[in-house]
Structures are given as C-alpha cells and as structure tokens.
A and B are shown apart, each in its own frame.
Chain A
Amino acid sequence: MALDLARWQFAIVTVFHFFFVPMTIGLAFLVAVMQTLALVRKDETWDRLTRFFGRIFLISLAVGVVTGIVLEFEFGLNWSAFSIFVGNIFGAPLAIEGLLAFFLESTFIGLWIFGRERLSPRLHLATIWLVSIGTILSAFFILAANAWMQHPVGYTVEGGQAVLTNFWAVLANSTLWASFVHTVVAALATGGALVLGISVWRAHRAPDELERNAFRRATAFASALVLVAVVLVAVTGDLQARLMDIQQPMKMAAAEALYNTQNGASFSLLTIGNLSGQPVFQIRVPHLLSLIADLSWNGQVVGINQMQATETAKYGAGNYAPVLWLTYWSFRAMIGAGVLMIGVSAWGVWLWWRKRLAASRWFRRAALAGIVLPIIANASGWIFTEAGRQPWIVYGLMETTKGVSTIGAGDVALTTAAFVVVYSTLAVLAVVLVLRAARHPFDEIGEPPDDTDPTPAPGLVY
C-alpha cells in the first residue's frame, strides 16, 4: 500500500514538475534569442517580444522552481532505501546540478528580472543566456542521474551500496547523451510551440500593424524553430530506441506489446481491444518496429516472453514485464503528438514562405491546439521511459519494491493527497496567469519604467 502510494506520489510530483521544466528550458532559450536579435539589430519589435514572452517564461519558471525543490528531497522522503543504495553515484550529479546549474539559473534570473535598468544592455543580455545555459546544464546532470538508473555504468556493488568507480563513465553514458539531446530539443519544441500558438492568435487579433507584424515575425521564427526541433526530437528518439533495444530489450518489447520474438516486426499504430496478443482491431505498419529498434528491414526484436525467460534465468523468479497498457499507449501518445507537431510547424513554415500566414483560419486553430502537443509528448515520454524500466528502479540492480522508505501508508497518503491539492491549485494559477500574460496589451510593454524617481533605486518588479 505504502509502496503503491509512494509510486503514485513520485509519478505525480515528477510529471507535474516536468510540465514546466521543458517549457522553461525552451522559453529561456527563445527569449534569449529574441533579446539577442533586439540588441544586435537594435530592433524595438524584438525587444517588446522579449518582454512579452519573458513574462510568460517567468510564470513557468516560478512553478518549475518550487516543484523542483520537492524533487531534491523526494528521494529521501519516499525512496530512502533507493537513496542509500545509489547515493554514491546518483547523489553526485544531483549535487553538481545544484552547484553548477541551479546557482547559475537562480542568481542570474534575479539579475535579469531586476537588472534591466542597472546593467548595460550587453550584460543584461548575458544574464538571460546564463539562465538558459543553467537550465540546460540542469537537464544534463539530472539526466546523468536518470541515465544511470536506466543503464548503470562505472560502478561496483559493495556492502549493499552501488559504489562509483568511474565518474567519466557516468558522464559519458550513451543513454545520457541520447536522452539529453532528445530532452533539450523537445524542450525547445515545447517553448517554441507556446510562442507559435500565442503569436498566431495575437497576430490575428492585433489592433494595429505594428503588433501584427511583430507577432507574424514571432510566428515565423517559432514555426521554423519547432520544425527543426521536432525533427531532431525524432532523430534522437530513434537513437534512443536503438540503445533501448540493446540496453533494455524488455522496454522495447513493452513499447509495442510484442509478446514473441519476431524478425521484420511490424509496428502497430493503434490497438482496439486488449494487448494480450489477440486484439479486436489493429492498424499495423509492416517492418517498422524492426526499423525503429534495429535500423534494418528484417531485424530481430525480442519479445516479452523471451525476455521474461532471459531475465528469470539471470535474476531469479519474478515478473520482469512492465505494465503493458501504460508502456504501449504512452509510447504512442509521445510519437503521435510529435508527428502532429511536425505537421503543424511545417504548415506554419510553408504558409510563411508563401506569405499566407494571415489567411489561414485552420492553421490558427492548429497552432493553438499545438501548444499542448509537446506537453503531452513530454509527459508520456517520461512515463514511458520510467514505467518501461519497471520492475526495476535501477535496471538490473534494484527493484522498485526494494527502494521504498519505511513510512506508514497513512503518512504517504496524506502527503500525496496534499501534493495533489497544492499542485492542482498551482496548475490552475499558472494557466490563468499565462492566459492573462498572453492577452497583455502589446503597446504597454516596453514603455520606459517609472522615471519619476529622483534617484534610480532598484526597481519594484514584484
């Protein structure tokens, strides 16, 4: 009971945090690019766009930061045995993340928010780039920790603890690099999709030419960026799939709910009925799974039953298959949302190229709906990769059931319920505030700050 609750709690606090993390990484980068364009081209339009999207970025950042604090302690709270087992290795990237990334991000965001009038334009621009670098470094180190759970390297097990033997191996982990690039480009797509959706809508509603042109420019910029980013997401996702096929074949089989080893395995787009191998209805693409897993037409994909036998022989009796409906559908949600994103952004680029951005009502709707697509893809991607590793918490080394704290179910239930309430409130507030910021009058942005002050004291922002 306490174990299930701890699982639910971890899933809730991580996935919720991860709604905001890619958004923040993406928007930090986009806002930094916008501010660079403003400065280099001495362009007031980009300057206003920087401030406009900067406000939205800060809302996302605020929620990301406070929910991130929880995660720093969540391992000790609910996964104490896991923490003790992995701390030697897992703790190091976490501590380094704090020292290298969080300090950078949090210190320079204060300088960026409050420093507009106090720093030179170049220095002020540098602060947002340092924030962006901080968010990306943070992704690297937390994924270093996670990649080690997916594919442990550079360790031995001594006295009931995993002990680090080669820190470079942990940082050079192939799983880390694939997931790092995948996550960062997905984050760019997430921030880009938000900028795209809002810009298309604002350009349409613009009261004057100045605002319309500004948001058209942002639309074109965001469409191009999202298109490039999502294509890179697909390429790196494919790299990850091949690593997964080698490192965690069970996860690959579970992604497809493939029961028995197959050569030239087909890929099912969707299944109606159950996943037990006798579906009511399926749409299948021949050979695609073999291509994904192995990059060859007739490549072999190992089935769940065969992996179950292999892992039983290796680790002893037990059930080594994850929850199949979850892996199967989260994998499809991720890929489906990604494919739709490519469609929306390619459409935007095409309309821009044909100078017809203004005309298309359907593109407007698609771009607005497109805001949620990367969010769905990000969440289902994480759910897939974490749920697909089950029953392991550290692949091949520790099962999730062995990693939990010795906390009474009542306490875990209480804290989980409280997190649900608090996080739901935060979600509602964040959405309301982002919607409000998205409607902010464009001509009010970028007005000179209150200069009635006789002395230029630090400004009031909050």
Chain B
Amino acid sequence: MATYTGLSALWFSLIGLLWAGYFFLEGFDFGVGMVSPLVSRDDTDRRLCMNAVGPVWDGNEVWLLVAGGATFAAFPLWYGLLFQGAYLALFVVLLALIARGVSFEFRAKFDDPRWRRVWDVANFAGSLVAALIWGVAFTNFVHGLPLSSAGYTGGLIGLLNPLALVGGLATLAVFAFHGSVFLSLKTSGGLMERAQRVARVAGGAAVLLLAATVVGVAAGGRPWHTLAGALPGGIPLVLGVIAVVELAAATLLVIRGRDGAAFFCTGGAILLAMGAIFGSMWPAVLPASNGAALALTVGAAASHPYTLEVMTVVAAIFTPLVLLYQGWTYWVFRRRLQRPAAVAAQAPGASGG
C-alpha cells in the first residue's frame, strides 16, 4: 500500500494543526494553572488567574476533542492503536482534565478557604500533569516507539524513558512560559509584575529543556524516514531549532517588557514545535523505532477516500466559522483584568448566569 494519498496527507496535516491549535490555546490555560501558585499573593490573585482564562478555556479544550474525533474518523487504526497503546498515560491525562475542568466551575461556589484550596490544587495539578504527559507522549511519538502489528505494547513504563521525560518537562516549561506571558498580558499591577518575573525564569528553562529534547530526538535513528515520501530529516530539525530560537527571543522580549511580542513568539514556538513533530512523524502516524516496516503509515491507517471527502467538505465549511467566532471571543474579552477596588468577597459567581 502506498504510504499516503493526497486526502490522507491533508487529514494528517489537519490533525497536526488541531493538535497545534490545542497546544497553542490550552497551553496558556495549562500555564496559567501552573504558575498561579507562584504569582498569587492572596485569594483575589488566584481568582484573577482563573478568570483570566475563564471565558475561553472550555472552547480551547474542544480543539483536543476535535483532534480526537478527526483521528477516529480519518485514521481509525491510528485512533485504535494509539489510545490502546498509551492506555494508562491517556487515562491519567483524562483524570487531570476532569480535575481542572470542574475546578473552574466549583471553586467559587463555597466561600470557604479549604474548599478553594482543593480546587486551586486541582487546577494546578491537573494543568501540570496533563502538560507533562502530553509532552512525554509526543516526544515518544516523534522519537518512535517499539511497535508490533498490535501497535505499542510497552505500557506506561516504556513511555517514561529519559528522553520522553525531558520532553515532558520541556512541554511543562514551555506552557508555564506561554501561560505566564499570557497572564502578564491579561492582568495588571503586582500580579502582572510577578507574572513577568516568573516568565523570565520559565523562559530560560523552556529554552534549555526544549533544546535538549530537540538534540535528543535528532540523535535518534528514525528508521521510518526511509519510507517513501518522508521529508528530508533536516526540515523538522530546522523547525525544532527555530522553535528554540523563538523561545529564546521571547525570553529576551519579556525581559524588555514587550509581553505582546513575547506571546507571539511563545505561541509561534509551540506551533513550530508541533510542525516539527508531525513533519518528522510523516509519513507514519505511529513511527516505529524498531524498523521502517513496522511503522503504521498514513496510507495504511487512513479511512476510505469517501469518508475523507465528506469530512473535508464539512471541515471546509465549518472551520472558518469556528475560527471566526472563537476569535471574536478573544476580542470581546481583550481587556486586562483589574483587581477589584474593594475586594469583592461577597458572593463570587453572583454576577454569572
């Protein structure tokens, strides 16, 4: 079977874009959740952090669901073998997403410090664990896993190899950086200044860790790159290196107080890193570290062309619409959050719904 067709290549790219969009958007949600304990001095600060992403986090998470659904529809074998293979890892991500998902809605419901503490921890830990595992997962995908015809069967332990853990920490640092820059843009006063300080440190860590991951992945064998249609290995490598450079530039920009430009760079770095990952996986959806023939290719995993055609038509019609209204949401909530003059401890949540 051919390693790919035009339509399957399109859907592979679209799924890459969905993941990139997901990490760009939920990356800063995760980041805000992770740095909130570092930048917050009191309950109001923690509320400001949560509310900075409050109107948008739910829509951001849908990128993940659509990536999942699109994988199911366009590449059933990829969907089936991937999630079965990464069983416990995905399960932990799901629990993390549940914990942080309900924390937004639940936190303000009781005016009790212990109750709020529980949901602050849930938001923090949920963000951190999800970011870490996504990083571990994608480092493994781009480095290749030992596969058999039943996909990956090495369990959670096999996924937690040193390189993947470095990749996980890199993802964590990149999101923390991305999130603290976002927080600098969305808040004001002392909270903003503390977010900027955290951003500098997170930026430095993100540069080092992502650079280490890029080097580690580049040093690997990548046998699937011998498959017909594979990109020259230099292309993803260059994308990865530019991502690191962008993170370094973002760190310098944060130091100079240019948060808007810095956010542009952290976001760009995430998109480029995802481009590098999907570019390097191509033409495999499940790259195998133990031989080119064992990789699950885009062509072998793809649905029948008719399914892909239907999906293409639906995506062509509705994706622009989604981008438009989701973009509009960010426009509506573009203003910085202000710390309430008299700390409105009375009935948080009373103004909603």
* Set of chain A residues within 8 Å of B73, measured between Cβ atoms: 87-88, 90-92, 94-95
Q: A121 contacts the other chain (Cβ, under 8 Å)? A: no
**How long is the Cα–Cα vector from A94 to B67 in the complex, in angstroms?**
10
Q: Which of the candidate stretches B83-91, B165-173, B224-232, B263-271 sits at the interface with the other chain?
A: B83-91
Q: A89 contacts the other chain (Cβ, under 8 Å)? A: yes
**How long is the Cα–Cα vector from A102 to B304 in the complex, in angstroms?**
25
Q: A19 contacts the other chain (Cβ, under 8 Å)? A: no
Q: A96 contacts the other chain (Cβ, under 8 Å)? A: yes
Asked whether, in the complex, the Cβ of B351 is within 8 Å of the Cβ of A461, the reply is: yes
Asked whether, in the complex, the Cβ of B72 is within 8 Å of the Cβ of A95, the reply is: yes
- Distance in angstroms from A84 CB to nearest chain B CB is 4
Asked whether, in the complex, the Cβ of B66 is within 8 Å of the Cβ of A111, the reply is: no
1/0 per residue, CB under 8 A from B, across A85-111: the answer is 111111110111111101110111111
Name the one of B84, B98, B337, B340 contacting A405, with C-beta atoms under 8 angstroms: B84
Q: B109 contacts the other chain (Cβ, under 8 Å)? A: yes
Q: Which of the candidate stretches B2-10, B201-209, B311-319 sits at the interface with the other chain?
A: B311-319
Asked whether, in the complex, the Cβ of B79 is within 8 Å of the Cβ of A99, the reply is: no
Q: Which of the candidate stretches A265-273, A277-285, A452-460 sits at the interface with the other chain?
A: A452-460
Q: A8 contacts the other chain (Cβ, under 8 Å)? A: no
Asked whether, in the complex, the Cβ of B105 is within 8 Å of the Cβ of A106, the reply is: no
1/0 per residue, CB under 8 A from A, across B69-96: the answer is 1111111110111111001101100110
Name the one of B77, B310, B348 contacting A92, with C-beta atoms under 8 angstroms: B310
Asked whether, in the complex, the Cβ of B332 is within 8 Å of the Cβ of A115, the reply is: yes
* Set of chain A residues within 8 Å of B319, measured between Cβ atoms: 99
Asked whether, in the complex, the Cβ of B338 is within 8 Å of the Cβ of A109, the reply is: no
- Distance in angstroms from A79 CB to nearest chain B CB is 8
Q: A431 contacts the other chain (Cβ, under 8 Å)? A: no
* Set of chain A residues within 8 Å of B109, measured between Cβ atoms: 59, 433, 436-437
Q: A33 contacts the other chain (Cβ, under 8 Å)? A: no
Asked whether, in the complex, the Cβ of B350 is within 8 Å of the Cβ of A458, the reply is: no
**How long is the Cα–Cα vector from A436 to B95 in the complex, in angstroms?**
26
**How long is the Cα–Cα vector from A314 to B333 in the complex, in angstroms?**
61
Q: A426 contacts the other chain (Cβ, under 8 Å)? A: yes
* Set of chain B residues within 8 Å of A113, measured between Cβ atoms: 54-55, 352-353
* Set of chain B residues within 8 Å of A104, measured between Cβ atoms: 325
Asked whether, in the complex, the Cβ of B106 is within 8 Å of the Cβ of A62, the reply is: yes
Say yes or no: A81-B80 contact (C-beta < 8 A), given A55-B349, A102-B66, A462-B349: yes
CB closest residue in chain A, given B341 = A452
**How long is the Cα–Cα vector from A406 to B149 in the complex, in angstroms?**
12
Q: B50 contacts the other chain (Cβ, under 8 Å)? A: yes
Q: Lowest 3 CB-CB distances: which A-B pairs, in order?
A: A87-B76, A76-B83, A91-B73
Interface residues of A (CB under 8 A from B): 31, 50-51, 54-55, 57-59, 61-63, 65-70, 72-73, 75-77, 80-81, 83-92, 94-100, 102-104, 106-119, 158, 161, 163-165, 167, 405-407, 411, 414-415, 418, 422, 426, 429, 433, 436-437, 444-445, 447, 449-450, 452-455, 457-462
A-B contact pairs, 5 of them (CB 8 A): A50-B353, A69-B64, A75-B79, A100-B318, A107-B59
Given A99-B322, A460-B48; 15 other pairs, CB 8 A cutoff:
A55-B349, A57-B353, A59-B109, A73-B83, A76-B83, A84-B79, A84-B80, A98-B66, A102-B65, A103-B322, A106-B59, A119-B332, A426-B98, A444-B347, A452-B341
